[in-house]
Amino acid sequence: MFLTLYPKRCAICDSILAKKENALGCCDFCSDKLEVIREPVCFKCGKPLDSNEEEYCIDCLRVKKSFVSNRAVYEYGGDIKDSLMKFKYKNRQEYANFYAKVMTDKYADYFADVDALIPIPIHKSRLKERGYNQAELIANELSRYCGVKVYNDILVRNEKTLAQKSLNDLERINNLKNAFQLGQNIVQLNKVMLVDDIYTTGATIEACTRLLHSAGYDNICSITVAIGHGY
């Protein structure tokens, strides 16, 4: 008999999973209480809308976005926020599998014609400090489920910026000016998908999109685990 020294735990409440719950990575209780984003959503960023009469959220109407679309599974807050904080700052790297599973379950068609997954890079000092790039972990797990190749060397983060969560809209944009640069592996790709953990105002996705446009990538979408509240 083999002892399970490190049993799988729920990516939300951290309780030990029953055998039947292992495939998802989340216990039945948490799975039932998590609120998945449902239609109607903003055509551009995927934030939930109040009415079917609306097409875009106030944020996307106010600030033009260059990417084609973003989609997210959960609205950022509560239990999913706590989960993502543990994933990002408490070394719970195994949560990436749960996030990728729910992303591909909800948006299977979204990956249909994508040629590459590009995780949002983090600065080398943060990578050294944290030990991993959370967006790359998610992208690697997404690749396992959807079969799309991960390219983690197309974008490079060349400046260590302030944490976006502490900044307002204008400060977020200015904070990311020149934060990214193109890597050495620029290959011909038709449609690429940026991957990140959280979408708030979209400033990070937008900065990366504009840089990719300059390299000839025209068809750019993105996907995140969660998305911030609309304005």
Tally the C-alpha atoms within 13 A of residue 130's C-alpha that lie toward its C-beta.
Answer: 22
- pLDDT over 70 for what percent of the chain? 90
Instruction: Name the residue among 14, 75, 84 with its Cα closest to residue 47.
Output: 75
- pTM, entire model: 0.91
Tell me if 205 is assigned to some domain: yes
Q: Which CATH number goes with the domain that contains 125?
A: 3.40.50
Q: In 3-state terms, what secondary structure has residue 88?
A: helix
pLDDT of 176? 72
| H or E element, residue 194 | strand 191-199
Going by their DSSP bridges, the two strands 180-182 and 155-157 should be labelled as antiparallel
Overall domain count for the chain: 1
**194-207: per-residue pLDDT in tens?**
999 999 989 999 99
Tell me if 59 sits within 8 A of 201, measured CB to CB: yes
What digits encode the pLDDT tens for the residues 85-134? 999 999 999 999 999 999 999 999 999 999 999 999 999 999 999 999 99
131-172: per-residue pLDDT in tens?
999 999 999 999 999 999 999 999 999 876 655 555 555 556
Asked whether residue 28 is domain-assigned, the answer is: no
Whether 19 is covered by a domain: the verdict is no
Among residues 182, 130, 133, 139, the alpha carbon closest in space to that of 158 is found at 182
Find the domain containing 90 and state its range: 35-227
Structural domain contains residue 210: yes
Q: What is the pLDDT of residue 7?
A: 87
For residue 156, tell me if it sits in a domain: yes
**Residue 70 located in a structural domain:** yes
Give the residue-averaged pLDDT of 23-34: 94
95 token code pair = 């949560």
Is 24 a member of any domain? no
Q: Is the four-CA dihedral 54, 57, 63, 69 of positive or negative sign?
A: negative
Position 3 in a domain: no
Asked if 91 contacts 131 with a C-beta cutoff of 8 angstroms, the reply is: yes
What are the residues whose beta carbons fall under 8 Å from the beta carbon of 20, sequence distance 6 or more?
Answer: none
Listing DSSP states for 57-82 in one string gives -HHHHHS---SSEEEEEEESSHHHHH
Higher pLDDT, 173 or 84: 84
CA distances from 38 to 44, 151, 227 (A): 15, 30, 12
Asked if 87 contacts 198 with a C-beta cutoff of 8 angstroms, the reply is no
> How many Å apart are CA 175 and CA 5, to the nearest integer?
44
Give CA angle at 142 (95, 128), nearest 5°: 60
